[in-house]
Chain A
Amino acid sequence: MKRKTFLARGLVFAAAFTLCAGLALPRPALAAEQTAAKAEDKARAVELVTLDGGVAAGKSDLPPVSFFHSKHEAIKDCATCHTAPAKDGGVWSWDFKNSASALGASGDVKDFYHSSCVTCHEDGASKGFESGPGIAECRSCHVAADVAVPGDAKRATVDFSMGSELHDLHMESSGIEANDDGLNCGACHHVYDAEAKKLVPDYEPAEGCRSCHGESAVANPANPGSMILSFKDASHSACISCHLDMSLPTSCDSCHSVAGQ
């Protein structure tokens, strides 16, 4: 081989390997950014939403998608992702819209969320908005969350509980429709009227919410075929729907953090 061609080939390979190596090595600036982002992420664990779509851990090659809800709040219109009430004054359903029917027995979680989430990201990007990852960036969404995920013990520390101060605030609020005796209780508290087969306001609540609403949805014994929502779904539906109607804060940390409350 001529010396010159040998050198030329050597250079081509050296260039290719340098390029690959350069891209592969963690860049110091980026590493610092990532560390900062992770510290910030820990503080925001409360608003981490995980879309596992019911896929058991280890069943998928990639970790389930975890994202921060606040990254999507600039969209403003909740109905982009959630189901608005059918009539005025009704409550929202905060599951991802259509997920229950789309993810039924034969539903493909992957296709459903790809066509819902990624299509929106790509539409947004093509319209010039700051937008989420496109279809080729698998691991920009499928990242193992480095913060406590739902169900994790660490997460419990940021769980919301309606302390007495907040409860008083709601009891005394003039913005909430009161019943005849001037108390607000019936606006939130209800009982199931088995004869009328509907929820009716409970003006003298004796039992707490969790006496019916448990960790997960259960069949309603008084009305076969209907479900009693989980405590999480029931409270998100009721509280956020009302906050939306009254233009009160709806971001995760406005309830789920001491500072927010």
Chain B
Amino acid sequence: MENLFNILTGPCLYIAMAVFTIGLIGRFVLYFLGLDWKLDRVAYKAHMGQGLKGGVHSALKWLVPFATHGWRSQPLAAIGFFLLHIGVVLVPIFLLGHNVILQQRLGFSLPTLPQGVADALTILSLVGLAIMLLRRLLLPNVRILTTGQDYFLIVLVLIPLVTGFLAVQGFGDYKALMLCHIISGEVLLVLAPFTKLSHIALYFASRMQIGMDYAIKRGGRTRESGAFFPW
């Protein structure tokens, strides 16, 4: 049993982190290599500076709650989205327990969140996940785009969230919950580059592309705000 934990937090962890990192970097690079300025009718290379300014602006602005018209026009989806994503990004990276593993395995660690904050963010993430799931089930225009993979991924995100939370709160069989938590978390890392979870990296790619598009043409050269399209 203890050796199973060793393997899961040793070789398996290294493989999962490597697949996740290299896979997502690969997807990100391939996204840009796949762009065709003639097909997109955007002179990316001729206006790289202007384009990048607009691209970065677009990628960052959509990360701020209610900063864009898009978010303001669908407030419930925005609330669900940010509740879910703030937790699932901050908690795994800055959780004390995860950083203890980093320190032990790789010799470095990041600043950590107080446990109470991590607990609260996890609960908010679950609320956000529920809102996003209901949205997917209830709105016909979202449901029609939904495939089995989307439901599978929702469950895959749900399992490490719930098992991690229950283990920390002292419910149930600690070791069984931790095994389930680690295995599902590592499966999630490995699958991320090959599923829609690749949006972890590709969000920045496609938002950058659209931002460049709007900075280079569609008024980017003549607009008062220049490259910064008022999203």
Contacts of B97 in A (CB 8 A): 136, 138
Say which residue of A8, A12, A23, A136 sits within 8 Å of B173 (CB atoms): A23
How many A-B residue pairs lie within 8 Å, measured between CB atoms? Answer: 93
- Residues from chain B with a CB closer than 8 A to the CB of A135 are 9, 100-101, 104-105
B68 at the interface (CB under 8 A from A): no
Asked whether any CB of chain B lies closer than 8 Å to the CB of A139, the reply is yes
Asked if A20 contacts B175 (CB within 8 A), the reply is no
| Nearest Cβ on chain B to A151's Cβ, whole angstroms | 25
B19 CB within 8 Å of chain A: no
Given the interface contacts A20-B159, A24-B166, A133-B2, does A139 sit within 8 Å of B114 by beta carbon? no
Q: Is A126 an interface residue (CB 8 A)?
A: yes
Which chain A residues (117-136) contact chain B, with CB distance < 8 Å?
Answer: 118-119, 121-122, 124-126, 128, 131-136
Q: Is the CB of A24 within 8 A of B6?
A: no
Check: B182 CB closer than 8 A to any chain A CB: yes
Q: Mark A101-113, 1 if CB is under 8 A from B, else 0.
A: 0000000001100
- How many angstroms from the CA of A12 to the CA of B133 in the assembled complex? 14
CB distance from B90 to the nearest CB of A (A): 16
Chain A binding surface, main DSSP class: helix
A137 to B175, CA, bound (A): 7
Interface code B1-29, partner A: CB below 8 Å = 1, 0 otherwise? Answer: 01101101100000000000000000000
Interface size class of B (residues with CB under 8 A): 35 or more
Are A131 and B173 CB-contacts (below 8 A) given A23-B180, A114-B100? no
Chain A CB within 10 A, most for which of B2, B151, B166: B2
Minimum CB–CB distance from A248 to chain B (whole Å) comes to 33
B182 to chain A, nearest CB (A): 6
CA distance A5 to B201 in the complex (A): 30
Binds B, one of A25-33, A158-166, A190-198, A235-243: A25-33
In the complex, the answer to whether B96 meets A140 with C-beta atoms within 8 Å is no
Whether B100 lies near A16 (C-beta < 8 A) is no
Provide a sorted-by-A list of 16 A–B residue pairs whose CB atoms are within 8 angstroms.
A1-B143, A13-B151, A24-B171, A25-B171, A26-B173, A61-B114, A110-B100, A118-B104, A126-B3, A133-B2, A134-B2, A134-B9, A135-B101, A136-B97, A136-B178, A139-B167
